[in-house]
């Protein structure tokens, strides 16, 4: 039989309530600050919450067909059937990826007859899309670039460029690119800033379809930039996420990269197959380094493996097999060229319709940049308060810097969007 003192001891809780509360309040993550919301995801969330049948989402950078639906390329569907019927295994890929994929990706970017390929001095690894390519490239530069560990980015640039570079250990600096007054390229400012950068600086360049402005240098301007970069002994780092998708011509879109290589630049290139093959969720990309010779290529390859191994060990296989299947089949390759041109042409057609409607509605301002810009995105020149009005009163969603994804427009909504923009600019929305 328990004594009175024993019964009293058993009736008490193991820990006093105040002690339990104190223990619950002390979390390992108690002092983690809330990060800023992603501006594009925020636009999508507001769009999804909107119940209006007229709502339009122009924030997301993914292609949509003429009905506003996600588009899977017919060649991708055919490639999937071929891969499925081949009954391939699911073994790990090598650290640098699927060899047939990296070979074909390099040929697509540089051209089969490019000297670095012919002379076997191109180091290349498969990556987790363009973001992964950029991360590998910046990590490599942070470890091994002999010059200053700083990278010059255009103003503005793709939002992810900055955190990728910073997280890899590079200091981020900027050069002029966009002229707000003309809604065009500030070429003189761009040249001046690149010239003013210390000799041997790393210069990030968008190969085509500059994101977010949609404004590219002309071929003549690219040639001038090549001379400046060579004169200053700068290191060019090209980001090519839209080859073929920008103009509909894979050769035209690769002009800058190929010209710089022809001129002897030892460049670094990031590639993505998200846009031009619609393989957004497959995460297929590549990063390549033009080396001086085969021996240097072997050393660069060895260090790429050391960077990749602790990041994700090796890349996913399915998307790489799809790209390899399409690029290695003459029939599928030709079909893909037609498909990618079709996507580009639809966006170009939307640019023309938007411009024509804005002009017909006597919208204040000059809107020629809508047609002259290229690729998925357009910098409209709309002010933040006009963007806010479009969301609140017209159910049209875009980022507050006025950037729109042209792929979100189609024959069913372009007229309504143009009318809404015209009213927002006039202040009558």
User: Hey, which residues are catalytic here?
Assistant: 158, 239, 275
Count of CB atoms situated within 10 Å of the CB of 16: 10
H or E, element range at 122: strand 122-128
Backbone angles phi, psi at 418, to 5 degrees: -60, -45
Using alpha carbons, select from 171, 154, 150, 140 the residue that is nearest to residue 291: 140
- CA dist 304 and 307 (Å) reads 5
Q: What is the DSSP letter of 70?
A: B
Pairing of strands 202-206, 150-155: parallel
User: What's the N-to-C CA distance of the chain in angstroms?
Assistant: 84
Q: Can you say whether the dihedral through the CA atoms of 62, 64, 68, 70 is positive or negative? A: negative
| Burial (0-12, 13-18, 19+ Cβ within 10 Å), 396 | buried
- CA dist 18 and 23 (Å) reads 9
């Amino acid at each position: 039989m328990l004594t009175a003192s024993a019964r009293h001891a058993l009736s008490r809780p193991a820990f006093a309530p105040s002690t339990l509360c104190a223990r619950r309040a002390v979390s390992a993550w108690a002092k983690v600050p809330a990060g800023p919301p992603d501006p594009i995801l925020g636009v999508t969330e507001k769009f999804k919450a909107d119940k209006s049948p007229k709502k339009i989402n122009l924030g997301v950078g993914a292609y949509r067909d003429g009905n506003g639906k996600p588009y899977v390329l017919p060649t991708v569907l055919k490639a999937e059937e071929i891969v499925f019927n081949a009954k391939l295994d699911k073994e790990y890929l090598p650290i640098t990826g699927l060899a047939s994929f990296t070979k074909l990706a390099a040929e697509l970017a540089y051209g089969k007859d490019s000297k670095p390929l012919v002379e076997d001095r191109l180091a290349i690894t498969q990556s987790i899309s363009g973001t992964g390519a950029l991360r590998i490239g910046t990590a490599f530069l942070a470890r091994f670039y002999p010059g200053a560990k700083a990278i010059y980015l255009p103003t503005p640039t793709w939002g992810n460029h900055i955190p990728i570079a910073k997280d890899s250990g590079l200091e981020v600096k900027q050069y002029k690119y966009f002229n707000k007054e003309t809604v065009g390229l500030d070429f003189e400012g761009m040249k001046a800033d690149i010239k003013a950068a210390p000799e041997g600086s790393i210069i990030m360049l968008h190969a085509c379809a500059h994101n977010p402005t949609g404004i590219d240098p002309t071929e003549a301007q690219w040639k001038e930039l090549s001379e400046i970069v060579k004169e200053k002994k700068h290191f060019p780092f090209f980001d090519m996420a839209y080859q073929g998708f920008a103009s509909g011509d894979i050769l035209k879109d690769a002009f800058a990269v190929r010209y710089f290589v022809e001129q002897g630049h030892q460049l670094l290139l990031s590639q993505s197959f998200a846009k031009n093959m619609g393989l957004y969720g497959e995460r297929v990309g590549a990063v390549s380094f033009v080396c001086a010779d085969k021996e240097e290529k072997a050393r660069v390859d060895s260090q790429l493996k050391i960077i990749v191994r602790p990041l994700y060990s090796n890349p996913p296989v399915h998307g790489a097999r799809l790209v390899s299947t399409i690029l290695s089949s003459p029939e599928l390759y030709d079909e893909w060229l037609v498909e990618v041109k079709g996507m580009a042409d639809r966006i170009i057609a939307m640019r023309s319709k938007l411009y024509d409607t804005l002009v017909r509605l006597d919208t204040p301002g000059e809107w020629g940049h809508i047609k002259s810009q290229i690729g998925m995105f357009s910098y409209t020149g709309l002010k933040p308060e006009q963007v806010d009005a479009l969301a609140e009163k017209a159910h049209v969603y875009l980022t507050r810097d006025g950037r729109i994804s042209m792929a979100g427009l189609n024959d069913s909504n372009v007229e309504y969007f143009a009318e809404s923009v015209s009213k927002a600019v006039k202040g009558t929305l």
